[in-house]
Structure 1
Amino acid sequence: MLMMNGKAKRSVSLFLVLLLIVSTVPALASQPAATFEEALFALKTPAQLGAESGEYAIHTGDSAYLPSLDREIIPFDMVIDIAYAPLSGEVESSDESVVTVADDGKMTAHAQGMATVTYHKSGGDEVYEITVSDDVPTELAKNYIYVLRNEFYTVQRSRLPKWNKYAKWYYNKKNEVGWCSVFTIYCANAAGANPIKQKTMDLDNIPATQFFAEGQVGSQYDGFMKMGRFSNVPKPGFLVIYADMKKAYRTTHIGSVVDVADMGDGLYAVTTIEGNMSSSVKSYCYLYDSNNQNYLVGSEGADKKLKLQNNMQELPKEDQVDPLVQYELHTDYWSVFGFCETWK
Structure 2
Amino acid sequence: MSTSGVTVLGGGVIGLSVAWFAARDGFAVEVVDPGSPHGGSWVAGGMLAPITEAWPGDEDVLALGVESLARWPAFAADLGVALSLVGTLAVATDVADGEVLDQLRAHLESQGRSATRLTRRELRAAEPGLGPSVRSGLSVPGDLSVDNRDLLRALRAACARHGVRFATESTQDHEITVIAAGAWSRDLHPLLREVIRPVKGEILRLSARPGALPPPRHTVRAQVSSRPVYLVPRAGGLVLGATQYEAGFDPDVTVGGVRDLLRDAEVVWPAIAEYALTECAAGFRAGSPDNLPVVDWLEPGVLAATGHHRNGLLLAPVTARRVLDLLREGGTR
TM range, normalised to the smaller chain?
Answer: under 0.3
User: TM-score if structure 2 supplies the norm length?
Assistant: 0.24
User: TM-score if structure 1 supplies the norm length?
Assistant: 0.24
Larger Rg: 1
Select the structure with the greater relative contact order (CA < 8 A; seq sep ≥ 6). 2
